[in-house]
Structure formats: C-alpha cells, structure tokens
Amino acid sequence: MSITSTEDTAERLARLEQTIEHLLAEAKRLGASAAEASVGSSAGLEVGVRLGEVETVEHTRDNGLSITVYFGHRRGSSSTTDLSHDSLRAAVKAACAIAAHTQEDPCANLADAALMAHGVLDLDLYHPWPIGVEEAVRIAAECEDAARGFDPRIVNSEGASLSAHSGLQVYGNSHGFVGGYPSTRHGLSCAVIGEEGDTMQRDYWWTSARAAADLEPARLVGERAAQRTVARLGGRQLDTCKAPVLFRAEVATGLVRSLVSAISGSSLYRRASFLLDHLGERIFPEFVRIHEEPHLPRGLSSAPFDGDGVATWAKDLVSEGVLRTYVLDTYSGCRMKLPTTGNAGGVRNLVVAMGERDRAGMLALMGTGLFVTELMGHGVNAVTGDYSRGAAGFWVENGEIAYPVEEITIAGNLKSMYANLVAVGNDCDFSGSTRNGSWLIDEMTIAGQ
Amino acid sequence: MNDPITIARNSILVPARLDDHHLDRLLGLLAGSHLDAADIYFQKSRLQSWVLEDGVIKDGNFSIEQGVGIRAVSGEKTGFAYSDELEYPALAQAAEAARAIARAGSQARVRIGHVQAQRRLYEPIDPLESLPDEDKVELLRRVDAEAKRQDTRIKEVTASIVAVQDTVLVLSDDGTLAADVRPLVRLNISVIAEDQGHREQGGSGGGARTDLGWFLLEDRALEFAREAVRLALTNLEAEPAPAGSMTVVLGPGWPGVLLHEAIGHGLEGDFNRKGTSAFAGRVGERVAAPGVTVVDDGTLPGRRGSLNMDDEGTTTQSTVLIENGILRGYMQDKLNARLMGVRSTGNGRRESYAHLPMPRMTNTYMLAGTHDPREIIASVERGLYAVNFGGGQVDITSGKFVFSTSEAYLIEGGKIGRPVKGATLIGNGPDVLTRVSMIGNDLSLDTGVGTCGKEGQSVPVGVGQPTLRIDSLTVGGTGSE
C-alpha cells in the first residue's frame, strides 16, 4: 500500500492532474467564471513499540480533494475524500450551490495569472522509504531500548514510534496552471517516564526528515528522550519574581510562530494582531534576521508554489530588526491593498540568524534566571500580544543549572519581549521547518508559590 | 427509515454495493483464532459551513468524508488499516493488513447476529437540511448586526455557522451491528473592540446535537453576539492580572474546563493501565475535598459531548469519577477495559475512521453543592474571580495542568472588583481539588463549544461545574500582588 516506484508516481501524478482538469472543466460547464482545485493522495506506515513489544501497526492511506468556484466575485467551496467520478461531479455542484448564497467580495479571486509558477522546481522532497513492518519495529525498539537503558530512574515508557509517509499533491486553476509533485516525510519519536520519590516526569524527543538517511540515529533519539526526562526529576516551584528567561531552541520556535501569526494577512485585515501597521518598523533589536527559504532542498516545508499557484521566493521577514514584509496570500493581500507574498498556506522554512554563543554561553550570558524547556497552554493573546503560559525548566544561578522547576507561569507582552531580545544562541539542535537557537529575553514575570 | 441502522446502511453500505454477505466475509477474515478483538468502523460525515466577515457572507463550504477503519487486536497489540474506498476488495485488503498483527490463524465463520437497540439522546436528523441556505446566511447577518448595534467601538465581526451529520456503523467481531446518526451544530462569533488605538477581542458561541433551528430559539444566536461584545468591552477596561499564589473563585459552566484538564485526562483508562498517569493506582484514595463529586456523563440529551453509543458500539453511561472526594474509577474503552479486567464505560471514541479509538471524555462536570455563589465571593478577602476561559492543557504524568482566563476580576474585601487581563492558571491535578473549600448551588454546563485534543485526535466534549472556591492556585499575570 505504499508508493515505491517512481514510474508509478509519474503515472499517478498524471492521473491526479487529469482529475484537476476534469474538475475545472466541470466548474466551467456549470457556469463558474473561475475555479481552482487541489487534490492529494498519500500512504504510509506507522509502527509503535512499547516496553519492547509491538503496540500498534497502522497502515494509512488518505485521499482528499477540494475545489473553490468563483461566479464573478462570489465564492463557494467543497471538499471530499472520495475521488470517484460521481463524487467529483457532486463536489463541483455543491461548491456552485454554496456560491449561490455567498455575497460579492471584491477580493474573492484567483491570483494574478502572471504570478503562476513556471514549471515545478524539483526541491528534492521525494525519498520513499520502502520499509517493512519488521524493520520498522526493530528501529523503534532500538530507540526505546536506548531510552529505557539510559538511567535506572527511567521506570516506564509511552513507547517509540516510527512513521514513513509518501504522498502526491496537485494544484490547478482556470488560468491553465496545473502543477504537482511527490514528497515524503519520515519520523521517529520516543517518550519515557522517570520516577523519583513519589513523583513521575515524562519527556520525549523526535526527529523528522524528507529522507530516512537524514533522521537522527534511533539510539540517539532514545537517549535524548531519557536525558530530558531524567533532568526534570525533583522539580520544585519558584517564588513569584521577575527574572530573565532563556527559551530553549525548540521552545523559542513558538515565539517565531506567534510573530508569523501576527504578521499574517488574515490577522491583519481583521485587525486581530498586535503588530498592525508595523511594516518597515523596528520590532526587534538590530541583530535579528528571520529569513524564509521556501526552496531549501529537502526542507520540511519547502514548496515550489503556494496554495494559490503563485511561485514562492526567498525573502527576509525581519532584517536588522525591522519588519520587512507581511505574510500574505492573494486574498489577504487584496484586503491589505498589497501584492501577495506567495504565502498561501503559510511560511515555508524559516531561518533565524544565530549568534556566537552555544548553550553554555547563553546560560552564562543570562547569569541568574529561568531556562524554560517546556511551555503549556494557550495563553497568547494575538490581538494584544499579552503572553502568559505554564512553564517548566531549570533555575540557573551564575550561568550554571541549579535545579529543575515546574508548576510556574511566565508572563509578559510579545511586543516588548521581541524588542528586548538580548541574544539568539547557536544551539539549534532539533529537526523542524524553523532553524532557530535559544532566545534570551531580558525580563519576564514568573509566578509560583 | 428513521432508524439509525437503516439510515447508515442506506447511506454507506448500499452505494458501495456492500451486503451482509460481504460483512460476514470481512468478519471471518478478522476473527482468526489469535485475535482477541476486532471491529470495522464505517463512517460518512457531511459538513456544511458558512462564514461572515467584514459584513458579507464571504465563504461557504460543503465537505464529505467517508471511509472505513479496520482494527484487529491481539493482547496489547493493535493492527489498523483504513481506506476511503468502500468497495469490497479495498476492505478485504485493509482487513488483511490489520490482521497481520497476530500470527496467521485460520479464517473463522462469523455471522452478523443481533442489531443493537438504540437510545435517542438526539434524533437521527440531517441538520444540514434543517434550515434553508438563505435562512442560515440571514442568521449570520442578524448576528453581525446585533453585535455592531451594541457599541460603536465594535470594529470587526467574524461569525460562522457549521452543521455536521456524522453517520457511523460499527461491526464487532462478535457479530454485533450498531449504528448512530449524530447531528451537531455550532455557531461562533468573534469581535474586535477598538478604543483610542487599544484593541481587545471577545468571542462567544454554542452548539448542540440538534438542528439549526436551535439557534433561533430563546434568541440564542443574538445572545451569543451580545456576549462576545460584552467580553471584548470588559477586556478594554482590564488591567494586568496579579502574579502569584492566591484564592481563586471559578464561575459556573465553562470554567469546568478545570475538571477536564486537572483530573479528567488523568482518569482515562489507557494512561492508568500503562501506569503513566499521576492518578494510576489511586482508586479509593482521597483526591478531592469532601463534597466534591465529579461525573463523566455521555447520556445528557442533545449535549455536544453526548453520544447514543461510543465509537465501539458501547452504550454510553454516566460514570462517577470522584464521589464525595474519593477517586472511584476510570473511563474505559474496550481494549483498556479488557486488559484491566473491567467493563467498558462507553468512552471509546475516535476522531474518524482514520484514527484508532481510545478512552475519551464526553460531558465532564461536578455536581452542585450548597453555597449561594454570592456567599462564596463574599468569603474572599483578596483573590481572583475567573469567569471565562480559553483552552487548557495537562501533563498526565506530572499532573501539572494549565488553563487561561479570558474574563476575570479581582476580588477585594468580598466584592467583585476591576477586570484583569487574561492570565494562565497552573496547578497540580491530584491535589487542586483537595483545596476546594466551597461549592456553589449553581451547577451549569457550558454552551456547547468544547473540543478536546488527545494524541492528535479532536472530539467534541462538554464540561460544567457550579461556582467553586479554591483556596490556593498559582495565577500567572504580570501585575504586582
């Protein structure tokens, strides 16, 4: 049930492209002035091992299609998981029926034809992993074994799981643009439980890549999961105070996500962003650069064109601390009276320019404060930037980790947190679509006992 | 025709040309001697949504998801395959893939036996057709107008209406056939209030397992609009929340998200079978103050979290989780119940055919106490009165949970004072309820907005509680104490 041979893939891609063309023709036949559609098909294997035994073997297989029709500036859309001929016709009809009741929206339109991608760039995203269940189980077991054997305080496990996925995605619209490409994504993760006294802690680690060869070794993933778990044991609360906060690299990525959300078109035109009217203004210190690289070979969110068919391009979101662009698709761009930035579907591979300091250097720079390794909850207000989240991590004294802390919150406002970013570390140590080091913020309110 | 089994057969099996003979053969493939359990879950889910933004109906969507998930269980091992193609060859292939989890056994002969009788907590209706499309978009326009009419500071209104009909047919390895037709409607409104460059958001909404006419009853939709406006305007006046440990009074209804996070997830059977929950092995122990009784009840008529049967075909029930402060039991699906030697509590739920079932909550709430809510407020010299919340999260293993306020006030000298900005509250699940010192007589349930996420799967749930006084909880604001 997995896609293995490239010849197969080319045929399937051609068939999905044909499906798109049929859909667009059907929309035209029903009177639509324009239409766009996307169709995807993927298959995969996911295996879970717990306490050395197979726990789950899942064979996944997903199909999906969505179509949007335009009658002038009125829009309707529909989607289905059933790619049969009858179902496709029904989907187009349903979208047209919806459009009969939506209202004129001057921005409801396809992207400008001149912006369509020319051909489909090969970004090296397709590396099928024809792995069998037995081999998948062996790798997941090796990963979990490494975690369980790491320290006697690791007493239980949520298991390790391995996944291998392969898929095809095709988009087309009535400008005549049809483009599609295959891609793969594989992963390995492990979560274990440590015990000390009568308290337990859980932590995990993961790796994710387009090609199996780029995954971190199974043993390493397990050991890091165990290491992180053991380090949390014996955590205590802090007294309520104000202190500098260092966000571990993968946790700091959440601060980047909040930025992207605040400069995204849909937040801006609804005036639901704390960064309204900040284009061209300094929002970070001068050393900060955040760059988008949609064509990064094997990048986890690389794409040659966006969800509107617009060719993507590399750009700075922030350079010299100044907000250089919003993140717009065709619709939100029109609402903002700006051209699209080729970001329908989001940003693709962000790189935060890293500084000189490694982990130890960042801890030393902070001196005494909180090193946050986990955040909990949804306490980010996108409209005001107010930030208050549950946290766990380590109290740091004179640049050295003193003891683990938990059941505390950290609070501030994103706008001032961004403006008062002290440094970005070079300690990026995780696989993800954002490359980022740890972030040191000069001061936040910590609530505890 | 108004019978869920007939509706499910006609909408799912008939178009795929599947008859009972095919189902018997599939069960036979699964019921080999080395399997402990197996099931086949057919689903067809239809959804229609409309969105109003900037004063116009800007978008609408109609979607259909259908497929089948086939599961084979041997001991603690689960084999699972799903397909969105429903023709017999695709199903047989999925069944072969799922059963490979066990050593190959001989094929067994199973016949579809009895058809499970059904309760009617909601009618097997099609809410998509319950109102003409013109009336749905007109309702959104009225909601928009009502919000803007309240106050000139309301600048942006986004409103949406969603209707879902979810039809499921579950075939168990013992030949039991069960079906459920689940309507679900939802209306949401979000507004931005702006005053001298300062902006705040307010949101409200509700839903139920019924038809769209529900929103027209008792002025419900317009009440949601007024509530969203009230929240946004209140937050325009809000000052920074305090930071530190203090007495917290939680309002009735939706603040029951506390129960969902602090104890609900920790009492799901899978975490307790595996010993990964902070509550594992603690049945019979005191985990809450005397007077605290918490139930998970999937049988409340029409509620968003209610189900006639769970996704394994088990009839739902009301399960006592905590009785007068003592931990009584866990929520179970079939797999975890079998491995723990108990019966399923009807909490086996899954997001869709493409996901495996696991123990999940339905409607989780605390029973009413005896205190007048005014008396509870009056008892607090200085503290926080939290009335509305956004989402929450819990770490099952350490027991630490958080939930974030979207409407809260200081209590000063026994009186409700100034509104304060959103703050995250953090606590420890196994002991937070031991600090409950007063329970109100005003139990209410939320308006039907809850969605719970676990291991990447979302399901609709409900929560509720009376007004509660908690003697000490950490409040994560930025203000000084």
Q: Which residue of B lies nearest to A240 if distances are taken between CA atoms? A: B244
Q: Which residue of A lies nearest to B393 if distances are taken between CA atoms? A: A377
**CA B254/CA B396 separation, integer angstroms:** 21
Yes or no, beta carbons of B80 and A99 under 8 Å apart: no
DSSP B114: P
**B14 vs A: CB within 8 A:** no
Question: CA of B301 to nearest chain A CA: how many angstroms apart?
Answer: 30
**B354 vs A: CB within 8 A:** yes
Backbone angles phi, psi at A135, to 5 degrees: -65, -40
At B276 the three-state DSSP class reads coil
Select from B395, B401, B420 the residue whose CB has the most chain A CBs within 10 Å, as the one to mutate to test that interface. Answer: B395
Classify each residue of B396-417 as buried b or exposed e, where b means 16 or more C-beta atoms within 10 Å of its C-beta: bbbbbbbbbbbbbbbbeeeeee
Residues 289-328 of B with CB under 8 A from A: none
pLDDT on residue A163 = 98
Select from B43, B61, B71, B136 the residue whose CB has the most chain A CBs within 10 Å, as the one to mutate to test that interface. Answer: B61
Question: CA of B234 to nearest chain A CA: how many angstroms apart?
Answer: 14
Let me know: does B300 contact B363? Beta carbons within 8 Å: yes
Yes or no, beta carbons of A411 and B245 under 8 Å apart: no
Q: Return the closest-CA partner of residue B314 out of B340, B260, B350.
A: B350
**B82 vs A: CB within 8 A:** yes
Residues 230-259 of B with CB under 8 A from A: 241, 243-245
Yes or no, beta carbons of A240 and B243 under 8 Å apart: yes
Token pair 């760059």 in the structure block, residue = A291
**Which residues in chain B touch residue A389, judged by CB atoms under 8 angstroms apart?**
402, 424, 476
pLDDT on residue A2 = 38
**Which residues in chain A touch residue B50, judged by CB atoms under 8 angstroms apart?**
101-102
pLDDT on residue A4 = 45
Yes or no, beta carbons of B476 and A379 under 8 Å apart: yes
Yes or no, beta carbons of B199 and A383 under 8 Å apart: yes
Let me know: does A387 contact A372? Beta carbons within 8 Å: no
pLDDT on residue B108 = 56
pLDDT on residue B2 = 80
Yes or no, beta carbons of A103 and B98 under 8 Å apart: no
**Which residues in chain A touch residue B84, judged by CB atoms under 8 angstroms apart?**
61-63, 81-82
**B98 vs A: CB within 8 A:** yes
Let me know: does A31 contact A50? Beta carbons within 8 Å: no
Of B50, B58, B475, the CB nearest to A447: B475
**Which residues in chain A touch residue B58, judged by CB atoms under 8 angstroms apart?**
75, 102-103, 105, 108
Q: Return the closest-CA partner of residue B307 out of B463, B460, B163.
A: B460
How many CA atoms, within 13 angstroms, populate the side-chain half-sphere of residue A374?
26
- Assigned token pair, A139: 């790798």
Question: CA of B335 to nearest chain A CA: how many angstroms apart?
Answer: 12
Question: CA of A406 to nearest chain B CA: how many angstroms apart?
Answer: 8
Instruction: Label residue B328 exposed, middle or buried (CB < 10 Å: 0-12, 13-18, 19+).
Output: middle
pLDDT on residue A441 = 98
Predicted TM-score of the model (pTM): 0.95
Let me know: does B249 contact B386? Beta carbons within 8 Å: yes
Question: CA of B72 to nearest chain A CA: how many angstroms apart?
Answer: 10
**CA A436/CA B286 separation, integer angstroms:** 45
Of B101, B192, B393, the CB nearest to A57: B101
Under 8 Å CB-to-CB from A237, ≥6 apart: which residues?
A405, A406, A407, A408, A448, A449, B474
Select from A376, A414, A420, A446 the residue whose CB has the most chain B CBs within 10 Å, as the one to mutate to test that interface. Answer: A376
**Which residues in chain A touch residue B48, judged by CB atoms under 8 angstroms apart?**
98
pLDDT along chain B (481 residues), means of 10: 89 93 89 82 97 96 96 92 90 90 61 72 96 96 97 97 98 89 98 95 97 94 98 96 97 96 96 95 95 98 98 97 96 96 97 97 98 98 96 94 96 97 93 96 97 96 98 90 50
At B91 the three-state DSSP class reads helix
**CA A27/CA A68 separation, integer angstroms:** 9
Question: CA of B475 to nearest chain A CA: how many angstroms apart?
Answer: 7
Of B48, B59, B79, the CB nearest to A102: B59
Of A58, A90, A411, the CB nearest to B243: A411
pLDDT on residue B311 = 97
Q: Which residue of A lies nearest to B270 if distances are taken between CA atoms? A: A158
**Which residues in chain A touch residue B194, judged by CB atoms under 8 angstroms apart?**
271
- Give me the DSSP letters along A18-45: HHHHHHHHHHHHTT-SEEEEEEEEEEEE
Select from B101, B133, B397, B480 the residue whose CB has the most chain A CBs within 10 Å, as the one to mutate to test that interface. Answer: B397
Yes or no, beta carbons of A383 and B192 under 8 Å apart: yes
**Which residues in chain B touch residue A58, judged by CB atoms under 8 angstroms apart?**
80-81, 356
Of B65, B158, B276, the CB nearest to A202: B276
Question: CA of B110 to nearest chain A CA: how many angstroms apart?
Answer: 24
The side-by-side arrangement of strands in the sheet containing A322-323 is: A322-323, A315-319, A290-292, A350-352, A434-435
Strands A53-71 and A34-50: antiparallel
Yes or no, beta carbons of B97 and A1 under 8 Å apart: yes
| Packing angle of the helix pair B220-236, B133-150 (nearest 10 deg) | 30
pLDDT on residue B325 = 97
Select from A36, A57, A420 the residue whose CB has the most chain B CBs within 10 Å, as the one to mutate to test that interface. Answer: A57
DSSP B223: H
pLDDT on residue A7 = 57
Yes or no, beta carbons of A200 and B478 under 8 Å apart: no
pLDDT in 10s for each residue of chain A, 449 residues: 333 445 588 999 999 999 999 999 999 999 999 999 999 999 999 999 999 999 999 999 899 999 999 999 999 999 999 888 888 999 999 999 999 999 999 999 999 999 999 989 999 999 999 999 999 999 999 999 999 999 999 999 999 999 999 999 999 999 999 999 999 999 999 999 999 998 999 999 999 999 999 999 999 999 999 999 999 999 999 999 999 999 999 999 999 999 999 999 999 999 999 999 999 999 999 999 999 999 999 999 999 999 999 999 999 999 999 999 999 999 999 999 999 999 999 999 999 999 999 999 999 999 999 999 999 998 999 999 999 999 999 999 999 999 999 999 999 999 999 999 999 999 998 888 999 999 999 999 999 99
